[in-house]
């Protein structure tokens, strides 16, 4: 099979300062692409409708994000030859590298990353709030849920952060409608809307999973 693929970098329209590196795994070489050979795996994506309903169910709503989710999980060393790519040096010399982590753009990445994320909760087994949250209320890298009060939400976040830290996975970009909960989240882990007034309806709109 063709073994080397095109790497692309692009900026997110609403976040022009951030560069997201992706691979064009559908690019054809001699009529074949990397995605033609990859398996999508089991459908482990949670129901979007179910997540959104639970997100609106209780009084305290919160959402967060896994930083560079696919890049947090390593690829078996024996499989890395399938993830080769060219890189041009400053002298226009072509160098071949191999990716050690899963790709943005590969159809296998969502199932692999989701499986491995859930595996973390199974190996912990003690922090039930976080286990339920991570297993049932993540849509790929976006986590949304709601709780009856800020105290429960604080415990949930602390547990989830602790579980993810065991494998150096960062939960961040936390957003909530609760000032009490927000006060318990370090500023570095909040979303970029830290100064939103929750009492001002014109300035309290946040977009998540396609809804406002």
What is the model's pLDDT at position 114? 93
**Percent of the chain whose pLDDT exceeds 70:** 80
Alpha helices in the chain (DSSP H): 34-37, 48-55, 109-124, 128-136, 150-165, 179-183
Residue 10 has pLDDT above 70, yes or no: no
Residue 181 has pLDDT above 80, yes or no: yes
SS3 58: coil
Q: Each residue of 70-125: pLDDT tens digit?
A: 999 999 999 898 888 888 888 888 999 999 999 888 999 999 999 999 998 887 66
pTM: 0.78
Tell me which of 64-73, 91-100, 143-152, 200-209 is least confident: 200-209
- DSSP at 88: E
Phi, psi at residue 17, to the nearest 5°?
Answer: -80, -10
CA–centroid distance for 209 within its chain: 12
Q: Which residue has the tokens 């709503």?
A: 61
SS3 47: coil
What is the domain partition of the chain in residue ranges?
4-203
Mean pLDDT for the stretch of residues 66-72: 92
SS (H, E, C) 126-141: CCHHHHHHHHHCEECC
Q: Each residue of 182-193: pLDDT tens digit?
A: 999 998 998 865
- DSSP at 72: G
């Amino acid at each position: 099979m063709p073994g080397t693929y095109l790497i692309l970098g692009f900026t997110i329209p609403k976040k022009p300062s951030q560069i997201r590196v992706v691979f064009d795994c559908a690019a054809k070489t001699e009529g074949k692409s990397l995605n033609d050979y990859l398996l999508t795996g089991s459908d482990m994506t949670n129901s979007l409708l179910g997540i959104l309903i639970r997100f609106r169910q209780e009084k305290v709503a919160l959402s967060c994000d896994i930083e560079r989710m696919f890049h947090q999980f390593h690829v078996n060393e024996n499989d890395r030859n399938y993830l080769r790519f060219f890189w041009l040096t400053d002298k226009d010399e072509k160098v071949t590298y191999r990716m050690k982590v899963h790709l943005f753009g590969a159809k296998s990445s969502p199932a692999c990353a989701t499986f491995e994320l859930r595996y973390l909760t199974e190996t912990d087994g003690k922090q039930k709030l976080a286990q339920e949250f991570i297993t049932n209320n993540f849509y790929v890298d976006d986590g949304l849920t709601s709780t009856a009060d800020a105290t429960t939400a604080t415990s949930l976040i602390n547990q989830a952060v602790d579980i993810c830290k065991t494998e150096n996975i960062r939960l961040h970009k936390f957003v909530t409608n609760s000032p009490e909960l927000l006060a318990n989240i370090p500023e570095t882990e909040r979303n970029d809307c830290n100064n939103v007034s929750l009492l001002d309806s014109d300035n309290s709109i946040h977009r998540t999973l396609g809804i406002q």
